[in-house]
Amino acid sequence: MALSTQRRGTSAGVGGYVAPVDLETAIRTRRTHKAFGSEPLAREEIEELLELARWAPNHNLTAPWRFRVVGPEALARLKEAAGPEGAAKLNRAPTLIVVSCVLGGDPVQDEEDLHATAVASYIVLLAAHGRGLAGYWRTPGVLRAPEGRAAVGLPDDERFVGLLHLGGPRQEKQPPQRPPVEQTTVFLS
C-alpha cells in the first residue's frame, strides 16, 4: 500500500486514518507548524511528495527546482554553520528539505523559475498537509551564507528558496485572520 493512503499523528487521533481532503479545504486549513512529532518521513513518502512538486507550472518546462533531503551528516554540518541559536531551530522537525532554484543567467527566466520553485515548494507543503502531516517553510539566513550553502552542497548557480520542515503534527493550529479579497484585489475595466 502506498504511504499516501496511510496517516499518522493527526487531529483524528494519533495513529488514526484521515481521509483525503478536497483542495479548497486543504488550502484553507494548511498551517505553519513549529512543533512536530519525532518520526521522520519514510523515503517513499518524501519521494511521493516530491513527485507531486514536479507538476508545478514552469515556463519552458525548465524544472528549475532542486530538493536536498537533509540526512544526519548534512544536518550536523548545517547546525555547526548555524551556531547554537540557529541549530536549535533545525531540531524542530524530523525531516528537512532544502529547496533551491537553478539560475541560468537570464533575468526574466530566473525570475519565472524562482516563482515556479516557490509553487513546487507549496505543493510539497499542501500535499503533506493533505496526508495529515505538518509543515513549515523557513528561510534561515544560514542557507544564504557560504558555510550553510557548503553544508548542504548548494552550488553558486542555485538560489536558496526555502527549508521545508515536515513531520507529524503535535498540535492543532487555528486559522489566522486573512485580509478580505476586496483589500487585495482590483478588477480592471
| pLDDT for 21 | 63
Buried b (16+ CB within 10 A) or exposed e, 110-128: bebbbbbbbebbbbbbbbb
| pLDDT for 138 | 96
Pairing outcome for strands 95-102 and 134-138 = unpaired
| pLDDT for 3 | 46
| pLDDT for 20 | 60
All residue ranges of the chain with pLDDT < 50 are 1-18
| pLDDT for 11 | 46
| pLDDT for 19 | 55
- pTM as predicted: 0.85
Domains and CATH numbers, the chain: 36-172 (3.40.109.10)
Q: What angle do CA 82, 85, 87 make, to 5 degrees?
A: 50
E strand map for 77-133:
95-102
